[in-house]
Amino acid sequence: MADPLDELAGAEALLRQTVEDALQYLASLDERPVRAAATDAVAQGFVGDLPEHGLGGPPALARLASGLDGAHASAGPRFFHFVTGGGTPAALAADWLGSAVDQNSFSWVSSPLGAQLEATAVRWLLDLFHLPPTWGGVLTTGATMANFTALAAARGWWAEQHGVEVDRDGLAGLPAAPVFSSGHLHPSATKALAMLGLGRERPVRLQVDDRGGFDVVALEAALRRLDAPAIVIANAGEVNAGDFDPIEAVADVCQAHRVWLHVDGAFGLFARLAPETGLAAGVERADSAISDGHKWLNVPYDCGFAFVREPARLASAFTLAAAYLPDDEHPNFGYLGPESSRRARAFAVWATLAAYGRDGYRAMVERHLRLARRVAAQVEAADDLELLAPTRLNIVSFRFVPPGFAGDLDRLNEALGAAVNEDGRVMFGSTRYRGVAAFRPAITNWRTTEADVDLIVEVVRELGATLAAQAVTA
């Protein structure tokens, strides 16, 4: 039998060994393939039944550490799939420490340090993003839950316009909620609307063209016709090309109507660190905005942020009361977001902001924007590649178009996307953008350098030439 208490004396040795294993893995990140040939098989090796008698800590951890090839090296510099950050040294170290201290960041009573770090982290993030210091906020598990949290506040406001206290009494008696957005709307926002009982299919997408940007003229007309309170979701950073809705223009329209304006800036809010892009101007005029920590802030999973103009709206949606629960003047974030007992994710947020500050983050974001433009220039210079959208942020949208190729370009690009990921030198996603199969590498990791991004075009052209020749001779 392996009772954890019997391992008390061995715990230190186990943790030291695990630090060794973790350091060895991290040291391999710059060299190791993003995806090893055996990745799936290694991952699928972790099957089997619940042990009746435990192995004990050291053998169990040794087994786990032997299986890290089953993970994609998404913490490393050449994983360009989704919009994935890594963990800065300070964030990772603080996250380790946070796990060791194992705080319940529910309330001041459960964790004074967790509560204070979160209050400070929220204030620092508002400052980092140039949002008003009078706004409130809360850390969440990610942008999906941040959208849920902010849209819960939006739902409370909207119901109040109809004389209903929705958080107390529910949705009964309310009309269907009018929700407007653009073609850039992220599926996590529709997931949040579903969880809130507002309906996944409610958003009306008003878009000017096949790139999806907000049609503000149509929005003005729709709101005038509606003549009732509405929720509008603007998008700062669309996942296929990094596009932005014209947030100032959307805010101008919303200002003249009864609207809760929410901005999803899961990664795009970081454009406010590089104001010369002009992309995320106007977010400060919204009623709520969200972003992700585990994307461009480069803190470990899981971390996101929800911000609202009127902090009391969060308490209205997420309060909980019981005789044994604290009721005091301290920050109690378990009352301001969907989770009650919760990880002290502010350890990592506070530490990375303390370590690198505003100028460190600005330097990182600006480096990523330069790297994205570098890839875009390589795409434009190649006669077998086609840029599908201007590179305004950190995502490069392109496809492989070999001269003289008479076959099906979508099938070729889909096969090429799969071949790139199988190859493992770099990894990024395929998508459908403006009606065609496309690639969308996103540059978000703090470790990424020029040599890393140069592999994107190199690998695509190398594998593409082989595939195109096979397709022609087939």
Ligand X SMILES: *Cc1c(COP(=O)(O)O)cnc(C)c1O
Binding-site ranges for ligand X (CB under 6 A): 83, 142-144, 186, 188, 237, 239, 264, 266-267, 292, 304
Q: What does the alpha-carbon distance between residue 80 and residue 99 come to, in Å, rounded to a whole number?
A: 28
Cβ proximity of 385 and 413 under 8 Å = no
CB of 159 to ligand X, least distance (A): 24
CB of 266 to ligand X, least distance (A): 3
CB of 2 to ligand X, least distance (A): 36
CB of 295 to ligand X, least distance (A): 6
Nearer to ligand X, 267 or 400 (CB): 267
At residue 96's C-alpha, the angle toward residues 91 and 97, to 5°, is 95
Nearer to ligand X, 143 or 193 (CB): 143
CB of 82 to ligand X, least distance (A): 7
Nearer to ligand X, 220 or 287 (CB): 287
Nearer to ligand X, 244 or 356 (CB): 244
Nearer to ligand X, 369 or 467 (CB): 369
The residues, any chain, with a CB within 8 Å of residue 464's CB and separated by 6 or more, are 384, 400, 402, 412, 416
Pull the structure tokens for residue 20: 């060794």
Nearer to ligand X, 110 or 445 (CB): 445
Nearer to ligand X, 222 or 233 (CB): 233
CB of 431 to ligand X, least distance (A): 12
Cβ proximity of 214 and 264 under 8 Å = no
* Per-residue buried b or exposed e for 305-334, using 16+ beta carbons within 10 Å of the residue's own CB: bbbbbebebbebbbeeeeeebeeeeebbbb
CB of 272 to ligand X, least distance (A): 15
Residue (of 458, 298, 259) closest to 375 by Cα position: 458
Pull the structure tokens for residue 413: 């690009």
Phi, psi of 277 (to 5 degrees): -70, -25
Q: Could you tell me what percentage of the chain is helix, strand and coil, using 3-state DSSP and rounding each to the nearest 5?
A: 45, 10, 40
Q: Which amino acid is at 369?
A: L
